[in-house]
Amino acid sequence: MYEPREKWLGKGGRFRRRGIYWLPNLFTTVALFAGFFSIVQAMNGHFEQSALAIFVAMVFDGLDGRVARFTHTQSAFGAEYDSLADMVSFGVAPALVIYVWALKDFSSAQNIPLLGAWLTTKLGWVAAFIYCACAALRLARFNTNIDVVDKRFFQGLPSPAAAALVAGMVWAFNEYQVRGTEVKWLAWALTMFAGITMVTNLKYYSGKDINPRKSVSFPVVVAIALAVVALVAVSSTLPEMLFMLFLSYAASGYALAVWDRAGRKRRGEPPAAPPS
């Protein structure tokens, strides 16, 4: 996606410019635009479009890396550009969308005795900022640990999944004509949950080791089919289905941690040390 822009040709020479691979960066730019579009639509009160734009950003964010690998155009520039686009689409955009939809109503909230009037009115933007800051920390940690972590798992909830969780809530409740002011405490709790989970050491399955050509046992196929049927059965709309899907994924990290701890306890092993 990027080669050094200039190359020194020697004493008395000039710098020779080199270009940027345009195809994978085009997908990254579309993802960045979708994040920006989401912010604009939220400011205009079009929350369904703003939530949908975040999911569009997810699709193109997943495509840019695959296109780069397929066309052999990976580069340091592309990785940095992708991270900056992710920060907008999955950090800033979800935080502003949920703030405009529900959390700004805390400015008129009643005083909570243990917090005081001043802090009570600031709870909304504090939660939005914590989510945004955690997304930045999550992306920075991912970039620095990319060569040392187990590729089968993410360390902490991935920022696209966290963004989909927040956007999915906005989209699903909007589908049922529920205003954000009516569920502001739920929105606050979900925003804090998504933000904090991004910077935990919980393991989340990445799916990078899935090989479509590899055979699996029949019970696995049955389990996948039942999971799809169950998800469709309890969800009447696409927004609701997406919200429940990413909520389940966010909870899977905690379930996996409990399962792992229980297994170590049965075997008499010490708790696993957190990754560096």
What confidence tens digit (pLDDT) does each residue in 18-44 have?
Answer: 556 677 889 999 999 999 999 999 999
Helix (H) or strand (E) holding 76: helix 76-87
When mean pLDDT is compared across 25-39, 54-68, 124-138, 197-211, the lowest value belongs to 197-211
Percent of the chain with pLDDT over 90: 47
Domain count of the fold of the chain = 1
Range of the domain at 178: 6-267
Structural domain includes residue 55:
yes
What confidence tens digit (pLDDT) does each residue in 142-166 have?
Answer: 888 877 677 788 899 999 999 999 9
Structural domain includes residue 163:
yes
Structural domain includes residue 146:
yes
**pLDDT band at 235; cut points 50, 70, 90:** low
Q: What is the mean pLDDT of residues 93-105?
A: 93
**pLDDT band at 226; cut points 50, 70, 90:** confident
**pLDDT band at 212; cut points 50, 70, 90:** low
Structural domain includes residue 139:
yes
What confidence tens digit (pLDDT) does each residue in 248-264 have?
Answer: 999 999 999 998 888 77
Query: How far does CA 14 lie from the centroid of its chain?
Result: 43
Residue 274 pLDDT greater than 80, yes or no: no
Residue 116 pLDDT greater than 60, yes or no: no
Structural domain includes residue 274:
no
Res 117: pLDDT: 53
- CATH number at 91 reads 1.20.120.1760
d(CA 50, CA 43): 9
Res 8: pLDDT: 45
Res 165: pLDDT: 96
Structural domain includes residue 164:
yes
Structural domain includes residue 184:
yes
